[in-house]
Chains A and B, each alone.
Chain A
Amino acid sequence: MYMLRIMSTLAWRNLWRNHRRTIIMISAITIGVWAMIFMTALMRGMVNEMVRDGIRALPGHVQIHGRGFLDDPGINNLLPMKDEDVTASFDAAGFDAWAGRIRVPAVVTSERDSRGITLYGIDPVRERDITFVAGDIVEGRFLEDADDSGVVIGRKLADNLETELGKRIVIMSQDPDNEIADRGFRIVGIFEARLEAYETSMLFAGKSAIQKMLNVPDRINEVVVLGDDYRNVDPVVRKVTDLVGPGVEVLPWYEVDSYLGTMMTVMDGFVLVWMIVVFLALSFGLVNTLVMAVFERVREIGLMMALGMRPTSILLQIVIESLLLLLLGLLIGNVLAGATVYWLRDGIDISVVAAGMEMFGASSLLYPQLTAHDVVLANVVVLILGSIASLSPAWRASRYDPIEAITKV
């Protein structure tokens, strides 16, 4: 304890012997830590936004389908239970939000053009809490109920079809007997999504209307459930699995949309790599500072050893000096990063590169997201790697021969 106190005192005072060098080094650590935390917060914010958008673009947190639906997402892969049975059991289970759908590939035709789309027969009341569409209507209205005879299409699709609000379109798909099923609908609403792909590929209609059109009354092929947190969907998966039994496929969002799932996993790895890369750049300065500090104090180190200080204590003293530098840099860096994230809490407008960002499924407004995990990770990386980096100069100092060191000019 006494040793620790004298070593800490020496380390602290030695730091400020060359205050300019110390301040420069602390500034470098501060900037490094700030960059680690802030850039990670930006990346986290971007990925979270992409995942949230992705989840709001229909996958929900958990999806239930007939087995093999993802490989053949058509009308032949209906859920084995009836729509009303699903409603009864899912309502009773008390999920935050859930909705049953019928989803099939279809062709939409206007007076001028036709396009391939994914047709969603939805219950608009339930979908309001799950999908983005209700909130993104820019013209007209959202669907009112499952029997609504109108459709809602994306702005881009409307442009492609050269049609508009109030006009009629024809939707054509296949019924379970592989017969053509088609029906005319009137466009009652146009939505604009953050991603152009959503606007061109999705078309929403009332669930009952589509069931009638496809000749599958009271049947659906997709149920979507929303839990509390997309990062923790396993409890929801378990609950749903218990509810529906073994005959169907229950998948978390990251398996439904493997691109998003992979992105989350890659992001975690990337954050660690990013932090280590920043630290490596930083470590050169740190090691150089410590080498210089040791080199300037060869005589003192020799003196302390001559007076009876053990080599391990010398080593520890240099490591403590490095830790103090790191702690100061971490403290300021953490505060700065936190302040920056707070300052930018309303989002950073990156609309200049919005088109490029959309390719990755991100929006033009970035919200940095600071997580305790990332802050702790950055601090731990800096402290552990910093201590390891300081071992080399500390080891060198502890190996000095006291007589040679003390007579060094």
Chain B
Amino acid sequence: MTAVTCIELCKTYRQGDQEIKALDHASIDIGEGGFVCLSAPSGGGKTTLLNAIGGLDIPDSGEVWIAGKRIDNLGKGELANLRLHKIGYVFQAYNLVPVLSARENVEFVMQVQGVPAGQRAEKSMAILKEVGLQGLEDRRPAEMSGGQQQRVAVARAIVSRPALVLADEPTANLDSKTSDALMELFVQLNKTHGTTFVIATHDQRVMGYAKRLIKMLDGRIVDDIDQQAA
């Protein structure tokens, strides 16, 4: 079964008098357990595609299907529900809630989902240990390094075991060592939990970890490489 299907997605932005085609008839299929990198130069459309897959951005035309359900025609509430239960997000800037501790940030999604406190605590402590943040559970984002914060964001994205994790330039603000550690964590989670990862990046080293590399240019899919076969 496919985790993500995009059919002929088009999205145009206006910038002053200029029309920018962020997506130009982009179509992809990503199977469950996939580990895919979307690669493109800046403005190539990878983030727009990622946002369309995550229901954060509605394409002008085309269809988006997640786990067999069409989502591009859903309302705001239904999309919020989809993101809450089916999708984990990792953003470029760590995007943690500054007034919550690492554990509370990780628990946030579960709390919104209505998971009981005991289960939340257990799961959040386990996932923080898994991402190597044991002992830092009570620190607030301002008291952690960039790498640590991004790992908290990853923990938050995967703690409720979403079928799909979308990551937008997750290593953009990290040094190479921390980037490698994070990617290895993604790979490990992909292997052990079967989570589907779709990562938008223009970092060559990140691309090296992907099983499949989809290259974009000016909103179009220009190449789709199975890196395992290669």
Indicate whether A300 reaches chain B with its CB closer than 8 angstroms: yes
A14 / chain B contacts, CB cutoff of 8 Å? 99
User: CA of A37 to CA of B178 in the docked complex: distance in angstroms?
Assistant: 59
Closest to A409 in B: B93
Selecting from A42-50, A306-314, A338-346, A379-387, the interface stretch reads A306-314
- Does the CB pair A308–B84 fall under 8 Å? yes
Q: Are A300 and B97 in contact, CB atoms less than 8 angstroms apart?
A: yes
Q: Which residue of A lies closest to B156 (CB)?
A: A307
Give Cα A300 to B84, complex, Å: 16
Chain B residue at minimal CB-CB distance from A308: B84
- Report chain B residues within 8 Å CB of A403: 51, 56-57
Interface pick from A2-10, A88-96, A269-277, A353-361: A2-10
Given A10-B99, A13-B99, A17-B99: A308 touches B91 (CB 8 Å cut-off):
no
Q: Tell which of B36-44, B74-82, B186-194, B205-213 binds the partner.
A: B74-82
B80→A2 contact, CB < 8 A: no
Q: With A3-B114, A5-B111 in contact, is A308–B99 under 8 Å at CB?
A: no
Least CB distance, B216 to chain A, in whole angstroms: 18
Q: Does A406 contact B (CB under 8 A)?
A: yes
Main secondary structure of the interface of B (DSSP, over half): helix
Asked if B97 and A311 sit within 8 Å, CB to CB, the answer is: no
- With A3-B111, A3-B112, A303-B91 as given contacts, are A308 and B83 in contact (CB-CB < 8 Å)? yes
Q: Answer yes or no: A155 CB below 8 A from chain B CBs.
A: no
Nearest to B84 among chain A residues (CB) is A308
Counting CB contacts under 8 A, is B73 at the interface? no
Whole-angstrom CA separation of A308 from B111 in the bound complex: 11
With both beta carbons as reference points, the residue of chain A lying nearest to B95 in the complex is identified as A303
Give min CB distance, B71 to chain A, whole Å. 13
A157 interfacial by beta-carbon distance below 8 Å: no
Q: In the assembled complex, which residues on chain A have CB atoms less than 8 Å from the CB atom of B77? A: 310-311
Q: Is A304 an interface residue (CB 8 A)?
A: yes
* A192 CB, nearest partner CB in chain B, Å: 66
For residue A299, CB closer than 8 A to chain B, the reply is yes
Assembly CA distance A42 to B91 (angstroms): 58
Inter-chain contacts of A10 with B (CB < 8 A)? 97, 99-100
Q: Is B98 interfacial (CB-CB < 8 Å)?
A: yes
Provide the bound-state CA to CA distance between A37 and B97, in Å: 39
**In the assembled complex, A402 has its CB within 8 A of some CB on chain B:** yes
Nearest A-chain residue to B97, judged by Cβ: A300
Which secondary structure dominates where chain A touches chain B?
helix
Q: Which of A2, A304, A308, A402 contacts B97 (CB 8 A)?
A: A304
On chain B, which size bracket covers the interface? 20 to 34
- Whether, in the assembled complex, B109 has its beta carbon less than 8 Å from a beta carbon of chain A, the answer is yes
Which chain A residue lies CB-closest to B82? A308
Q: Is A223 an interface residue (CB 8 A)?
A: no
A307 touches B100 (CB 8 A): no
Task: Check if B89 is an interface residue, CB within 8 A of chain A.
Answer: yes
In the complex, which residues of chain A have a beta carbon less than 8 angstroms from the beta carbon of B56?
306, 402-403
Instruction: Flag if A2 contacts B99 (CB, 8 Å).
Output: no
Closest chain B residue, CB of each to CB of A16: B99
Q: Given the complex, which residues of A lie within 8 Å of B84, measured CB to CB?
A: 307-309
Chain B residues with Cβ under 8 A from A303's Cβ?
91, 95, 97
B108 at interface, CB cutoff 8 A? yes
Asked, given contacts A300-B97, A303-B97, whether A308 binds B57 with beta carbons under 8 Å apart, the answer is no
User: Within 8 Å of chain A (Cβ to Cβ): is B85?
Assistant: yes
Q: Does A319 contact B (CB under 8 A)?
A: no
B7 at the interface (CB under 8 A from A): no
**Which of B51, B98, B109, B116 is within 8 Å of A308, CB to CB?**
B109
Interface hub of B57, B80, B98 (most chain A Cβ within 10 A): B80
Question: Could you say which residues of chain A place their CB within 8 Å of the CB of B89?
Answer: 306-307
The winner among A3, A6, A10, A305 for most chain B CB atoms within 10 A is A6
14 other A-B residue contacts (CB within 8 Å) besides A304-B97, A309-B84: A2-B116, A10-B100, A14-B99, A17-B99, A306-B83, A307-B83, A307-B89, A308-B81, A308-B109, A310-B76, A310-B77, A311-B80, A403-B51, A406-B91
- Top 10 nearest A-B pairs (CB, nearest first) are A308-B84, A13-B99, A308-B83, A6-B111, A303-B95, A310-B80, A2-B114, A403-B56, A308-B80, A2-B111
A-B contact pairs, 26 of them (CB 8 A): A2-B111, A2-B112, A3-B112, A6-B112, A9-B100, A10-B100, A14-B99, A304-B97, A306-B83, A306-B89, A306-B91, A307-B84, A307-B89, A307-B112, A308-B80, A308-B82, A308-B112, A309-B84, A309-B112, A310-B76, A310-B77, A311-B80, A402-B56, A403-B56, A403-B57, A406-B95
